Amino acid sequence: MTHRLIDALADIVGATQVLCNAADMAPFLNDWRGRYTGQALCVVRPGSTEEASRIVAACAAADVAIVPQGGNTGLVGGATPCSPASHARDEVLLSLVRMNRIRTIDPDNNTMTVEAGCILQRVQEAAAATGRLFPLSLAAEGTATIGGNLSTNAGGVQVLRYGNMRDLTLGLEVVLADGRVWNGLRGLRKDNTGYDLKQLFIGAEGTLGLITAAVLKLFPLPRSKATAWVTLADPAAAVALLGRLREACGERISAFEIIGGSALQLVLQHIPGSRSPFASTHAWQVLIELTDADAAINLNDMLEPMLNREAEAGRLLDAVVAQSETQAQALWNLRENIAEAQKREGTSIKHDVSIPVSRIAEFIRRADAALTQALPGVRIVCFGHIGDGNLHYNLSKPSLLENQHFIAGQAAVSRQVHDLVHELGGSISAEHGLGQLKREEILRYKSPIEMDMMRAVKAALDPSGLMNPGKLL
């Protein structure tokens, strides 16, 4: 049966697009963080929706599961096949990297239709070439694909102004679990004709169907920008600053990122060329960006006086406003390289959580106190999108040997963090998804009714459980 399926897949896409050799498959079977390694019968790379449809139909006929994968930059093992120990079913990894075409751009409708394998950065560049902005922006944008962004409902640094992928998507094309293709590629802002089916697939991590293309929203391209790095006493001061900045600048705030001192130190230590904006170190800093479509507006003239007033009132410690695009990019590099710096340092226990903005300071204060008391010597790396309540709250031990033992106790450590998040009305996954990492943990926090509804949707769209098994549910 295995050989017959592989031969059938080769007939669909060509033999060179079906990888069976262990060395060829290895990059697809290991996750970006190096925590998950799975097995697959083969890796198959379709070049069109028709080929993807035929692949899914062939796998369904053979009762073989399908693991969709884009740029393989996920952080919870959602795009990595399960190990045989945790899932005995045969799996085929379906890589969408060849489905990377930008089908159409409609400037008048402010939309673009792209295939799921398009690299996010390429989508941003194509939009900019037509004088438009596709605002999703995240550290992995040079390798992450639109399909992966959709499957995890990615957020990034500009959710504060533009929303996450649910907000940025108008239509989808999806291969269903039996191989049929649903063409929902409609660029409509209003369509009140029943269930909004696309929302079932966004954030579903490939467990309901295979996203092959999407209609994305575009926005006016920013023509003016102001970027500032601000140091503050604590997260409560950052939240208060955000409120006053909103009153002063309104919707021009496109990003408001908090960076803990330990996160900045890791970047300075591990990323060559990194330099701190200030000579002295600070416990907390915020990266602010304002943008406007009007090139005549000087946003520095708006931001600098506001920050000066804040400093005079003693509400911030120091601030620097970038005077060039080069300076602005240097500040952004400090923020965007945190994940890479952590990876170079070693494995950590990562938490991607969301909390009401009004309770972020309380969460950090209480979590820090509880964990430093329970885990002497723990290093807390906290950073994230404070403007929309999304924090990355990561823990490790400084020495390699200590850290290995520490990582082995992840379940108990994460339970402390997640219980506090839940108590404060938050979510244990803000933008990374559940994947393999949190599929059991979520049962503690979602109600039985919620889980029953999710399982009912899964059963309706994928009754045989062929789509990305062992993830999310």
Asked if residue 257 belongs to a domain, the reply is yes
pTM: 0.92
Domain check: are 366 and 326 in the same one? no
Give per-residue pLDDT as tens, 84-101: 666 668 999 999 999 999
Highest mean pLDDT among 23-37, 43-57, 396-410: 43-57
pLDDT at residue 63 above 90? yes
Residue that finishes a domain, picked among 202, 220, 238:
220
CATH code, domain carrying 25? 3.30.43.10
In angstroms and rounded to an integer, the radius of gyration of the C-alpha atoms of the chain is 23
Give me the residues paired with residue 105 across strands: 112
Asked if residue 459 belongs to a domain, the reply is no
Quick one: pLDDT at residue 399?
Answer: 76
Quick one: pLDDT at residue 86?
Answer: 62
Classify burial at 412, counting beta carbons within 10 Å of its beta carbon; exposed 0-12, middle 13-18, buried 19 or more: exposed
Quick one: pLDDT at residue 449?
Answer: 97
Domain check: are 305 and 397 in the same one? no
Domain check: are 216 and 231 in the same one? no
Asked if residue 181 belongs to a domain, the reply is yes
Domain check: are 124 and 213 in the same one? yes
CATH code, domain carrying 174? 3.30.465.10
Quick one: pLDDT at residue 469?
Answer: 95
Total structural domains in the chain? 4
In the structure, what pLDDT confidence band is assigned to residue 281 with cuts at 50, 70 and 90?
confident
Which residue is it, tokens 């209480």?
A: 366
Give per-residue pLDDT as tens, 460-472: 999 999 999 999 9
Q: Measure the CA–CA gap between 296 and 319, rounded to whole angstroms.
A: 24
Question: Which residues, in sequence order, are CB contacts of 144 under 8 Å at separation 6+?
Answer: 70, 71, 73, 119, 120, 138, 154
Domain check: are 313 and 281 in the same one? yes
Lookup: tokens for 305: 């006086």
Domain check: are 136 and 239 in the same one? no
- The parent domain of residue 124 ranges over 102-220
CATH code, domain carrying 362? 3.30.70.2740
Domain check: are 294 and 354 in the same one? no
Residue that finishes a domain, picked among 78, 95, 112:
95
* Average pLDDT estimate for 182-194: 96
Residue that finishes a domain, picked among 315, 339, 363:
339
In the structure, what pLDDT confidence band is assigned to residue 1 with cuts at 50, 70 and 90?
low
Asked if residue 215 belongs to a domain, the reply is yes
> Considering only 128-137, 151-160, 286-295, 405-414, which range has the smallest mean pLDDT?
405-414
Give me the residues paired with residue 67 across strands: 93
Q: Using an 8 Å Cβ cutoff, are 266 and 336 in contact?
A: no
Quick one: pLDDT at residue 343?
Answer: 84
Domain check: are 106 and 216 in the same one? yes
Domain check: are 320 and 360 in the same one? no
